Amino acid sequence: MICGDDDQFGSLRLWLRDGVDVYISPDDVVHFVFLSTRKRLRLKVTPLLIECLEWLDGSASVMELDARYKAQASRLDSKHPSSFVDFIQYLYGKGILVRKDWMHNAFCPEQVERYSRQLNFFLDIEESEAAATALLKRIMNCRIALIGIGAVGSWILRELVQIGFQRFILVDPKTLKPADRTRNAIFDHLLIGEPKALVAERFVHSQALEPETRAIQSPLDIDTNVEELIGADTDLIINTADEPYIGATSIKLSRYCVEKGLPLLVAGGFDAHLASLSEIIVPGQTPCSDCYAMHFEETLRGWKPISHPIVDRRRGFGGLPSLSAFAASAAVLKIVRLLSENGGDVEQGRGEFLFDQYSIDSFKVERNPECPTCGDFERLQARAD
């Protein structure tokens, strides 16, 4: 009997999630393999329940399938103590089954059409419809201040818009130059001479479903008032500005972000580090830019520079658009992970992608409890509350 809340459950049309592989061994053990996490679940069930798994294509409701199951069971004339509904409920609870129409309940048809493959990806990572839905909603609502729309910033913008970010504050004081041909992801030779902030704004408006943007053609300088420049409504800041010097602007932004409790992503920038995998600063969780600065001062004390195995990393490293794309992709992945529930811990440290053999060099840096900027973060937050 299905009763109470189960009525609702009985009417669901369930679908075996695409991101789960199902294997059946000869002794009637079903192996569910979660492709994203490689997690495995093994269940010993009856042959009839195994047969039922193939019915779960979303075409019939749980109640209808239960009736089909009971009919089959009585035809087999065997005692079937196992309940079909219990089995299905268990699989639904484990995120192995999802509702056929789960995307349509949360998003309009155009959004479903554009983001269905991505929502499937989120479902595999988050392992529940609600969490996958919430992740895309967070993406669509997040207001990002992107500082610098150049070799890495423009690629980041392009990917962010693709995956559904639509609220931006776009900061760049420069205009599009002919040489941007080799580095800017939104380059168009017809737009040479136009302010990059406006080119970027137009790009967002032509692609996003519900765009909301501000274009700012002033630079972020050492003495700029950050809040006056970008406004007070930002949820996340991305710094890719390499002038006057990314270290300086990042420390400035990091201090601002610690004060406001905002996450900051520092990507690209250093001429010799364009394939840097970017670092994300989450106040109270990760080191801030001052922590990093102190760490390097400490570890580099007494060290003399030695030559790097790569022949020479001066200005050339990262000059390739494909390295910009790599760095930008790594940065955008960090943002998606930051906003997701199951995306793993926020990384503490830095990484670098080495072109020679496509290897990643990374190392950990811990928060410095003595840090004058974020060492006091908890007390700072308590005072703010």
Partner 1 sequence: MHGASVSLVSHLMEVLHERCAVEPRAVRDAVDATEHYRVLNFLGDYFPAAELFAAFERLRSTRVAILGCGAVGSWTAVQLAHSGLENFIVIDGDQVEESNLNRSIFLHEDIGQPKVKAISSALHRISQRVRVRRVNENVCDADGLRALLSEARPDVIVNCADEPSVDLTSEWINEYCQDRRVPYVIAGGYNLHLSLIGMTVSPGVSACINCSRITLDELEDESLQGVRRLWRPKRNLGSLSPLTGITSSLAASEVLRLAVKSDRLRPAMWNRRGEFNFLTNELSFVDLPPRPECGCTAEDVRDRVSNNSQ
- Binders of partner 1 among residues 44 to 73 (CB under 8 A) are 53-54, 57
Which of 173, 321, 346, 375 is close enough to bind partner 1 by CB under 8 A?
321
Tokens representing 182? 């080799």
Q: CA-CA-CA-CA torsion for 338, 342, 344, 345, nearest 10 degrees?
A: 60
For residue 106, give the amino acid letter: A
Which of 11, 74, 207, 218 is close enough to bind partner 1 by CB under 8 A?
207
> Shortest approach of partner 1 to residue 107 CB, angstroms?
13
Please name the residues in contact with 19: beta carbons below 8 A apart, sequence gap of 6 or more: 34, 35, 36, 120, 123, 124
Backbone dihedral region of 246: left (phi > 0), alpha (psi from -120 to 50 degrees) or beta? alpha
From Zn ion, partner 1, none, which one binds at residue 323 (CB under 5 to 8 Å depending on kind)? partner 1
Q: Does 5 bind partner 1 (CB under 8 A)?
A: no
From partner 1, Zn ion, none, which one binds at residue 196 (CB under 5 to 8 Å depending on kind)? none
Q: Return the range that interacts with partner 1 (CB under 8 A); candidates 19-27, 77-85, 230-238, 368-376.
A: 19-27
Q: CA-CA-CA-CA torsion for 52, 58, 59, 60, nearest 10 degrees?
A: 60
Which residue, 198 or 380, is less far from partner 1 as judged by CB? 198
> Shortest approach of Zn ion to residue 371 CB, angstroms?
3
DSSP letters for 287-317: --HHHHHHHHHHHHTT------SSS--SS-T
Q: Return the range that interacts with partner 1 (CB under 8 A); candidates 221-229, 262-270, 292-300, 321-329.
A: 321-329
Which of 7, 8, 31, 363 is close enough to bind partner 1 by CB under 8 A?
31
Q: Does 285 bind partner 1 (CB under 8 A)?
A: no
Which residue, 319 or 372, is less far from Zn ion as judged by CB? 372
Which residue, 311 or 384, is less far from partner 1 as judged by CB? 311
Which residue, 201 or 290, is less far from partner 1 as judged by CB? 201
Q: What are the angstrom distances between the C-alpha of 299 and each of 46, 103, 313?
A: 61, 50, 21
Which residue, 55 or 92, is less far from partner 1 as judged by CB? 55
Tokens representing 272? 């010799």
Q: Return the range that interacts with partner 1 (CB under 8 A); candidates 11-19, 64-72, 91-99, 247-255.
A: 11-19
Question: Where in 252-271 is the site for partner 1 (CB under 8 A)?
Answer: none
Which of 167, 183, 252, 255 is close enough to bind partner 1 by CB under 8 A?
183
Residue of this chain nearest to Zn ion (CB atom):
371
Tokens representing 355? 């072109």
Burial class (CB within 10 angstroms; exposed 0-12, middle 13-18, buried 19+) of 187: buried
Please name the residues in contact with 137: beta carbons below 8 A apart, sequence gap of 6 or more: 106
The whole-angstrom separation of Cα 293 and Cα 201 is: 34
From Zn ion, partner 1, none, which one binds at residue 63 (CB under 5 to 8 Å depending on kind)? none
The whole-angstrom separation of Cα 184 and Cα 316 is: 16
The whole-angstrom separation of Cα 245 and Cα 240 is: 10
Which residue, 291 or 328, is less far from Zn ion as judged by CB? 291
Q: Does 322 bind partner 1 (CB under 8 A)?
A: yes
Which of 210, 312, 366, 378 is close enough to bind partner 1 by CB under 8 A?
312
From partner 1, Zn ion, none, which one binds at residue 373 (CB under 5 to 8 Å depending on kind)? Zn ion
> Shortest approach of partner 1 to residue 22 CB, angstroms?
4
- Crossing angle of helices 289-300 and 246-260, in 10° steps, is 130
Which of 8, 74, 82, 116 is close enough to bind partner 1 by CB under 8 A?
116
Q: Does 360 bind partner 1 (CB under 8 A)?
A: yes
Q: For the chain, give me the number of helices (H) and strands (E)?
A: 14, 14
Please name the residues in contact with 252: beta carbons below 8 A apart, sequence gap of 6 or more: 220, 222, 224, 226
Site string for partner 1, 184-203 (x = CB under 8 A): -x-xxxx-------------
Interacting residues with Zn ion (CB under 5 A): 288, 290-291, 371, 373-374
Which of 61, 72, 89, 118 is close enough to bind partner 1 by CB under 8 A?
118
Please name the residues in contact with 224: beta carbons below 8 A apart, sequence gap of 6 or more: 218, 252
The whole-angstrom separation of Cα 187 and Cα 178 is: 9
